[in-house]
Amino acid sequence: MLISLIAAGSPLTPLLIPAGLPLAPSQTSGDQSVEQRLSALEADRDRLSQELEAAMDALADAEVGPAGTGSTGPTYDDETTEIWRRLAQRTLAPRAANVYTSDGLSFGGYGEFLGQVFRDRDGDNFDALRWVMYFGQRFSDRWIFNSEIEIEHGSTSASSATTGSGGSVSIEFAYIDHLLTDSTALRGGVVLVPLGFVNERHEPTTFLASARPETEQRIIPSTWRASAMGGYGQVGGFAWSGYVLNGLNGSEFNASGVRGGRQKANRASIDNIALAARIDYVDTPGVVVGLSAFSGDSGVGVPEDLGTTIVDFHAEWNTGPWFLRALFAQASVDDTEAFNTRTGENVASNMQGWYAEVGYDLLSLSGDFPDQSLDVFVRYEDLNTQETVDGAFTPSGGIDDTFTTIGLNYKPVSQVVLKTDYTILDEGDDIYRFLIGYAF
């Protein structure tokens, strides 16, 4: 029919035959007939279609490499992925380790919205305490980038009506990992210092109370990050990690502890190099028992060395409906008498704290809520950031305190947590807290 329309001079002819194409044998004067020309065009079309289909198949089979390199993307071995998962879970909270089991780019995050009501003073508040995003890239089976970006207190532009200070945007960690062997990985960049429980595993779904323990804020200054190089791994039933890192800035120590000495990887001075290490027994599911330590001079811009050593012993049993955790931490600082005399500060040469907590999942008593938990818990903590003060100085008031926290921790799903608790202080003001948290 198509040929008939063309031969008959149909008005559709200009649309069907390109300009200049002979329309009939009488017009071609020895050239090919219309039927022959159309057959040739159809053959060309089929050939081009086959070539295009083959090119598309080849593109679909190849991973796109870096622009302009012509390289193909990585493939991921299941066995290597499992090695990464086993090693990384010892150094990070669950969602922070997303990248180790991903294919290429990954992201995640967590957040905390904290309310505080004080018994005997003003300052009640509801704070967008933390909003965090994880970004990572698995370049190949053995090279990984991972990072955490955090916004604290909702904004960096406005001061708080209750504290007088604004929020901040920070890199909590950002580093490159390399899998050296099946039991050892190297890490370099901005890392979380491997002390205590909360510093490396601070997602709100990983601990019971609304607030982190005071011992893991003032003696182990969580969240504590540093520019570092080192590694981690597992030998038999023991997990280990160790880093060479920048020291603390002791000029910012005070009577409340060493928290102000964090350099936060912000042009961190490396005039003083420190060491940090950790070892844990992890061979029994749900059980962690170990110790960690940090040591290095902290005399940044001051004449004193302020050699600082922080040691902690920790244990956890988290199996079935029970959650038990305990930690003891001690910090010692050299040259405090000379430093205090020169500056008028009251930094202790020895400070220590400990806590123990126990929680029980009430919903485990019923089989009707297998994907939920409701932990009732109590945490007792004793902290003294001026255990020993050298020379003529005497301990400041209100530094030696105990904290008793009683509360509920409800997870409607594993990635969302609702907390409410009340903390009784011997020396300070009692606090009621509630928290909405998530991690993904």
The yes-or-no verdict on residue 422 having pLDDT over 80 is yes
The pLDDT, as a whole number, for residue 391 is: 86
| Mean pLDDT, rounded, for 351-357 | 97
Q: Three-state SS string across the chain, please?
A: CHHHHHHCCCCCHHHHCCCCCCCCHHHHCCCCCHHHHHHHHHHHHHHHHHHHHHHHHHHHHCCCCCCCCCCCCCCCCHHHHHHHHHHHCCCCCCHHHHHHHCCCEEEEEEEEEEEEEECCCCCCEEEEEEEEEEEEEECCCCEEEEEEEEEECCCCCCCCCCCCCCCEEEEEEEEEEEEEECCEEEEEEEEECCCCCCCCCCCHHHCCCCCCCCHHHHCCCCCCEEEEEEEEEEECCEEEEEEEEECCCHHHCECCECHHHCCCCCCCCCCCEEEEEEEEECCCCCEEEEEEEEEECCCCCCCCCCCEEEEEEEEEEEECCEEEEEEEEEEEECCHHHHHHHHCCCCCCEEEEEEEEEEEEHHHHCCCCCCCEEEEEEEEEEEEEEEECCCCCCCCCCCEEEEEEEEEEEEEECCEEEEEEEEEECCCCCEEEEEEEEEC
Cα distance between residue 223 and residue 200, in whole Å? 8
Q: Which of 264, 359, 235, 252 is nearest to 300 (CA)?
A: 252
**pLDDT tens for residues 209-246?**
999 999 999 999 999 999 999 999 999 999 999 999 99
- Phi, psi values for residue 424, rounded to 5°: -105, 125
The yes-or-no verdict on residue 86 having pLDDT over 90 is yes
What CATH architecture does domain 112-125+157-439 belong to? Beta Barrel (2.40)
Cα distance between residue 114 and residue 91, in whole Å? 26
Which residue has 């060491």 as its token pair? 275
The pLDDT, as a whole number, for residue 74 is: 67
Percent of the residues in the chain that have a pLDDT greater than 90, as a whole number: 75
The yes-or-no verdict on residue 155 having pLDDT over 90 is no
The yes-or-no verdict on residue 440 having pLDDT over 70 is yes
In sequence order, the β-bridge partners of residue 160 are none
All structural domains of the chain with their residue ranges: 20-62, 112-125+157-439
The yes-or-no verdict on residue 158 having pLDDT over 70 is no
| Plot region of 40 (φ>0 → left; ψ -120 to 50 → alpha; else → beta) | alpha
Cα distance between residue 190 and residue 147, in whole Å? 9
Which residue has 């210092």 as its token pair? 193
**pLDDT tens for residues 296-348?**
999 999 999 999 999 999 999 999 999 999 999 999 999 999 999 999 999 99
8 A C-beta contact, residue 34 and residue 22:
yes
Q: What is the pTM of this model?
A: 0.81
pLDDT band of 398, cuts 50, 70, 90: low
**pLDDT tens for residues 186-217?**
999 999 999 999 999 999 999 999 999 999 99
Q: Which of 9, 21, 142 is nearest to 84 (CA)?
A: 142
The pLDDT, as a whole number, for residue 237 is: 96
Q: What's the mean pLDDT when you consider all of the chain?
A: 88
In sequence order, the β-bridge partners of residue 329 are 312, 353
The pLDDT, as a whole number, for residue 364 is: 95
Most confident of 67-71, 386-390, 417-421: 417-421
Cα distance between residue 344 and residue 340, in whole Å? 5
The yes-or-no verdict on residue 184 having pLDDT over 90 is yes
Percent of the residues in the chain that have a pLDDT greater than 70, as a whole number: 86
Which is more confident, 30 or 151? 151
The pLDDT, as a whole number, for residue 29 is: 43
The yes-or-no verdict on residue 62 having pLDDT over 70 is no
The pLDDT, as a whole number, for residue 295 is: 98
